[in-house]
Amino acid sequence: MDRNDPARHVAGTSTNTAFAQLLGYRQTGGIVLFSPGEQGYTCPVHAHPSGDRFDGLKWSEYNACVWCPVCDRDYPSALCTGLTCDDPAALERAIEVFISTVRDALRRP
């Protein structure tokens, strides 16, 4: 099945049609050498019980994204580099800006 085919989406995981359309799906079947946490990515919303930012992120099924199992949500990896956000509306706006930026870049010749 084509990795960009929405039918390959796994039930029970976060869905974001804009990410699927603009970024496509990450290739499957490979070996993950390092988790997002080992690469320095953190969830922009949840703190780890130790007080550190939550480091249990997984690589998202979408290119350029990571997935938080606590939020059940995909985030652009650029937003998971230590950004802390206690304002859900600001985080939503940041995601919209990311999607808009990618969409605009794809429209350019």
- Which residues are CB-neighbours of 53 under 8 A, at least 6 positions away? 42, 43, 46, 47, 82, 84
| Residue 1 domain flag | no
Q: Model confidence over 9-42: pLDDT tens digits?
A: 453 456 788 888 888 888 888 888 888 888 878 8
0.75 exceeded by the pTM?
no
Domains in the chain: how many in total? 1
Distance between CA atoms of residues 76 and 18, nearest Å: 12
Whether 23 is in a domain gets the answer yes
Encode pLDDT of 44-84 as tens digits.
887 655 556 556 788 998 988 988 888 888 998 888 876 66
Is residue 25, in this structure, part of any structural domain at all?
A: yes
| In-domain check, residue 76 | yes
- Which residues have C-beta within 8 Å of that of residue 3, sequence separation ≥ 6? 24, 25, 26, 27, 28
| 44 located within any domain | yes
Residue by residue, what is the 3-state secondary structure of 50-80? CCCECCCCEECCECCEEEECCCCEEEEHHHC
Residue 102: domain span: 6-107
